[in-house]
Amino acid sequence: VSHRDLEGVVCDYGSWLSRGWCRVELFALLLARFNRLPAIIIKGPESAPFMISGAFAARSSPGTGKFTCCTRNHCIRGPDGLERNIPCDKVKLGPMIWEMLRHRLQYLLGQGDVCEYRVWVAMTPVLMQGLPVPEACRQLTQHATA
């Protein structure tokens, strides 16, 4: 699909997977407490659907994705033509991704699934890569690696 505002730019699965906020959508599915289903990708009527495993999605940390705010050096031109500084979206995402992950970890412990809990704890530094990390997250990963 052609981008609405940018000539010559194509929007497809690859571009979706490169964007930080789109990766947040994927992580929300991955970290859903009751979900054990992979994401199903449908590229179009001519393509066969396929699934993304949790392991694949985990390699696509939201913090390492592309963000418009970063692309624009955290400046945006207002309707008056003046440039204004805008905050980085990653500042919002660090606590949000950590909160989703924390809920997943609590759920796994409540279910007595210590094995999967340990896998998620071990993956936490990769999942939080490129994001500001809340202190509780730092403590969890330091404790796990000690």
* 1 contacts: CB under 8 Å, gap ≥ 6: 10, 11, 12
Q: What pLDDT, on a 0 to 100 scale, did the predictor assign at position 140?
A: 75
Name the residue with tokens 């929300």. Answer: 28
**Average pLDDT for the chain:** 86
- Rounded to 5 degrees, φ, ψ at 32 are -55, 130
Q: What pLDDT, on a 0 to 100 scale, did the predictor assign at position 141?
A: 66
**Residue 52, both tokens:** 């993304």
Q: What pLDDT, on a 0 to 100 scale, did the predictor assign at position 91?
A: 93
Name the residue with tokens 């970063």. Answer: 70
Q: What pLDDT, on a 0 to 100 scale, did the predictor assign at position 110?
A: 93
Spatial CA neighbour of 62 closest among 134, 140, 129, 135: 129
Q: What pLDDT, on a 0 to 100 scale, did the predictor assign at position 82?
A: 94
For residues 49 and 118, the answer to whether their CB atoms sit within 8 Å is no
112 — alpha (psi -120 to 50), left (phi > 0) or beta? Answer: left
**Residue 19, both tokens:** 């964007």
For residues 46 and 36, the answer to whether their CB atoms sit within 8 Å is no
* 8 contacts: CB under 8 Å, gap ≥ 6: none
The pLDDT tens digits along the chain (146 residues) read 788 877 888 888 888 899 999 999 988 888 886 666 777 888 888 889 888 877 777 788 999 999 999 999 999 999 999 999 999 999 999 999 999 999 999 999 999 999 999 988 988 888 899 998 877 677 776 655 55
* 138 contacts: CB under 8 Å, gap ≥ 6: none
